[in-house]
Structure 1
Amino acid sequence: MSIPSIPASAPAPRRHRLPIIFIVTTVLIDGIGIGLIFPVMPTLIREVTGQALADAALWGGLLATGFAVMQFLFGPLVGNLSDRFGRKPVLISALFVMMLDYLVMAVAQTIWLLLIGRVIAGITAATPGTAAAFMADISKPGERARNFGYVHAAFGLGFAFGPKIGGLLATIDTRAPFLLAAAIAGANMLFGLLVMPESLARDKRRPFQLSRANPFGAFRAIGQLKGLTGLLAVFGLYELAYFVYPAVWSFFTEERFGFDTAMIGLTLFAFGITMGIAQAVLVGPLVSRFGAYRVAMAGIAMDSIVFLAFGFTANVPLMWIMTILSGISAISIPALQSMMSTATPDDQQGELQGVTGSIAALATILSPLIMTETFAIFSRPGTPHYQPGAPFLLSLIIVLIGGLILWCWQRVHGRS
């Protein structure tokens, strides 16, 4: 017997909590799984290639880029499939492929096998987007920001704890983190098969169109919805600016503050924990009281302060204050996501999440190239304008442009 769909207008009784727990757990495990392998990827690449660290870093960049490019190209395909066949089969399939990818990395003896695994994983990287579509299906418009906050918080907390667990497991064996990541992905897949209902009712599904199952066709279809183009532009600029942290934070803090690996890891942990708590605890009440637009603008304002401070400060206590504030500023992402979801019909929620996934993947590709080059220009020996914080000043400009677009969008469309 099939499990009935959950109507979006239904309350959240106890029997509906298990699916929400599953969704949040899935994204938490996704974050843990990615974080688990971070500390050991350089060692694994050196094992399978026999090359020095510098050359291994190039392979690491290729693996990350391959994953992001596939996610950019195929995100809309996965989103459209979930609008046609439902969220459950897509999410369960993604967890299965995730499990296989971790197993491949656990046993791979060649770099090409690792690359193939990362490419396939990028094609099916559907867990965050499909989880967000599920939350949109079961949430009333006023609840979406809060539930999106749960999804983002789960990933942030998972990513904060993942490297700690991975580093400990790596002391046992280099492949141990990958085996654990595969085990928890497989266990969660089985959990989902048992407890996850289908959230997208059959009468809200739409036919699959190949012309929309690519980034450009999906952008065109979503862009025709009133007000979505401006919000997508803000989201893309925000992702581009915010990715300055994974792109240059380790280099910046070593150059500016002389931090070692342990201190850099501690700052990232503090950032991840603060972001997770802010998105889980603050987003819902703030959006209920002030509206999604004001919460998004508040996050952008906080980011502007943080980027300006990081651009110039060499003061360690101020750096810690700004690190905490940068985590709190992440409340803007669920608020923006809520605004976009509210403006999107039920039968295009998966397509929307596929498009936002492609935008985030594009930022993942472009931001490291832009930010690391900016850092190199302004911090290399002999530079006429020494300014290690230059990437953050560039992010300040980008996020201010995004804030201006959002302000103009609000004046035109008048949504709060």
Structure 2
Amino acid sequence: MRWSRPSTTLCAFITLLNDRLGESIVFPLLPYLLASFSGSGRTLGLLAGSYAVAQFAFTPLIGALSDRFGRRPVMAGCVAGSVLGLGLFALTITIDWSAIPWAAGTALPLTLLFVARLIDGVSGGTAATAGAVLADISTPENRAKAFGLIGVAFGLGFILGPALGGLLAGVNVTLPVWAAAAFALVNLLLVLGLLPETHPIEARLPLPRKRELNPFTQLRRVFTNPQVRRLCLAFFLFFLAFNGFTAVLVLYFKQAFGWGPAPAATAFLVVGVVATVVQGGLIGPLVQRFGEWRLSLAGLGFVMAGFLQVPLATPANAQPLVFIAVAILALGTGLVTPCLRSLVSRRLDAAGQGAALGSLQGLQSLGSFLGPPLAGVAYDLVGRQSPFWLGIALMLGVVALVAGRSPGPERSPA
């Protein structure tokens, strides 16, 4: 068929890569990019969380639009939004606002940064639309292989983003954001020039009712199901704690250890490499050997160990201790995320899978929005290390929720 040509897969892959690459380039550098406008943890946390809240609110609508009007126009619109958001962010941090009399000392630059992040978050449905393209062009027999591209693209994005960001920041701290915007522009040109429509007109669906597009509707449904309520709450608290921790991590590196952009980006590169290895190759054999429930609890232990090690580091031993800490943290996250998803999935019948797993994505986005501002407030008002101790306390709550739930049928250890 016309749309099964290799260029279709290429466009989907580049779009998935762009989705992760843009965020993984910008996120580790946020405290340095914000330095001219604000040094507070609250501002950093709100800016980090603004992307997630926009994505949480608009992803259901973007998915419905692609089912109604086709993949190509929706993907092109989303990638164009990414170009606009990243371009506005890059332009805002490049302009010397002190040289503009009517703008100097105002909240305009900071407002533009928030607008840029919100635009990028609203257009963050690119991953879901690219996944739908892969589903459209795949047969049931090769669908798992096609979806494997999602993991490959995300893994590459998490590795290349911090590496590229740290390298370019050594030249100029704004250069990585311009590079992310340029990659998004290349992505847009590929989609416009090479991507055919993969969703035929006869398969189009009408737009659902507004109520069904409300992201809180699915969350309400899943929390009324006693089979998965505790595990879903655990999933939400995990991402609340994890994203709060990571949001202030680079600011802590900057203020506690005097780190510049390069070592901070390298720490995130370590996270990307370890998480990709765990989720790309180790998770299957480990699940066969130990089962999801045991691995979830072990992973939570690793995450707490990583949280604990960072505030114990001093400027003299920071680099080796922090890199070990983030590697342990990435190992734990690489175990917890897929295993908790699987534990939820195994407690539902086939009819409830789609809604419940979609709800987990919503819970992840909600935790990614609420965690950073909460950590930022704690950072400013309680102390620089307080978000890490708060994260450990929340993780203990996650352990209680997961451990207090019967593991159900598990694969027996060999």
Answer yes or no: same fold by TM over 0.5.
Answer: yes
CA deviations 1:306-342 (Å, max 9, x no partner) are 2233354545444332222112222122333344456
Q: Which residue of 1 aligns with 2:78?
A: 94
Q: Which residue of 2 aligns with 1:361?
A: 365
Q: 1:239 offset after TM fit, Å?
A: 0.7
| Distance in 2 separating the partners of 1:94 and 1:241 | 29
Q: Which residue of 2 aligns with 1:78?
A: 62
Please identify, of 247-256 and 103-112, the stretch whose mean Cα deviation from structure 2 is larger.
103-112
Task: Kindly provide the amino acid, as one letter, of the partner of residue 361 in structure 1.
Answer: S
1:330 to 323, 329, 333: 333
Q: Does 1:120 align with 2:119?
A: yes
Aligned sequence identity (%):
24
Q: Is the 8 A contact 1:150 1:279 kept in 2?
A: no
Q: Is the 8 A contact 1:75 1:125 kept in 2?
A: yes
Distance 1:98 1:58, change over 3 A: same
| Distance in 2 separating the partners of 1:313 and 1:302 | 17
List runs of 5+ in structure 1 lacking aligned partners.
Answer: 5-14, 47-51, 380-387
Q: Does 1:53 align with 2:11?
A: no
Question: 1:295-310, aligned counterparts within 5 Å?
Answer: 295-310=295-310
| Distance in 1 separating the partners of 2:40 and 2:79 | 28
Distance 1:172 1:245, change over 3 A: closer
Q: Is the 8 A contact 1:145 1:283 kept in 2?
A: no
Task: Kindly provide the amino acid, as one letter, of the partner of residue 121 in structure 2.
Answer: G
| Distance in 2 separating the partners of 1:394 and 1:202 | 48
Q: Does 1:34 align with 2:42?
A: no
Q: Is the 8 A contact 2:45 2:248 kept in 1?
A: no
| Distance in 2 separating the partners of 1:161 and 1:246 | 17
Q: Is the 8 A contact 1:70 1:119 kept in 2?
A: yes
Distance 1:99 1:177, change over 3 A: same
| Distance in 2 separating the partners of 1:319 and 1:63 | 24
Question: Aligned to 2:162, what secondary structure does the other structure show?
Answer: helix
Question: 1:392-411, aligned counterparts within 5 Å?
Answer: 392-411=388-407
Task: Kindly provide the amino acid, as one letter, of the partner of residue 406 in structure 1.
Answer: V
Q: Is the 8 A contact 2:14 2:187 kept in 1?
A: no
Q: Which residue of 2 aligns with 1:219?
A: 219
Q: Is the 8 A contact 1:39 1:166 kept in 2?
A: no
Distance 1:53 1:278, change over 3 A: same
| Distance in 2 separating the partners of 1:209 and 1:309 | 48
Q: 1:236 offset after TM fit, Å?
A: 1.0
Q: Is the 8 A contact 1:253 1:259 kept in 2?
A: yes
Q: 1:240 offset after TM fit, Å?
A: 1.2
Q: Given the two structures, how large is their TM-score scaled by the length of structure 2?
A: 0.72
Distance 1:182 1:260, change over 3 A: closer
Distance 1:98 1:288, change over 3 A: farther
Distance 1:106 1:248, change over 3 A: closer
Q: Is the 8 A contact 1:169 1:177 kept in 2?
A: no
Question: Aligned to 1:235, what secondary structure does the other structure show?
Answer: helix
CA deviations 1:365-394 (Å, max 9, x no partner) are 322232233334554xxxxxxxx5432222
| Distance in 2 separating the partners of 1:39 and 1:248 | 10
| Distance in 2 separating the partners of 1:172 and 1:371 | 25
CA deviations 1:8-36 (Å, max 9, x no partner) are xxxxxxx8x98776555433222222244
1:160 to 154, 157, 162: 162
Q: Which residue of 2 aligns with 1:7?
A: none
Please identify, of 53-62 and 123-132, the stretch whose mean Cα deviation from structure 2 is larger.
53-62
Distance 1:268 1:212, change over 3 A: same
CA deviations 1:79-102 (Å, max 9, x no partner) are 455566776765454223323433
Q: Given the two structures, how large is their TM-score scaled by the length of structure 1?
A: 0.72
Q: 1:255 offset after TM fit, Å?
A: 5.2
Count matched residues.
Answer: 387
Q: 1:215 offset after TM fit, Å?
A: 2.1
Question: Aligned to 1:53, what secondary structure does the other structure show?
Answer: coil
| Distance in 2 separating the partners of 1:235 and 1:86 | 32
Q: 1:297 offset after TM fit, Å?
A: 2.8
Q: Which residue of 2 aligns with 1:270?
A: 270
Q: Which residue of 1 aligns with 2:387?
A: 391
Q: Which residue of 1 aligns with 2:105?
A: none
| Distance in 2 separating the partners of 1:304 and 1:245 | 11
Q: Is the 8 A contact 1:40 1:170 kept in 2?
A: no
Distance 1:32 1:376, change over 3 A: same
Question: 1:176-195, aligned counterparts within 5 Å?
Answer: 176-177=178-179, 179-190=181-192, 193-194=195-196
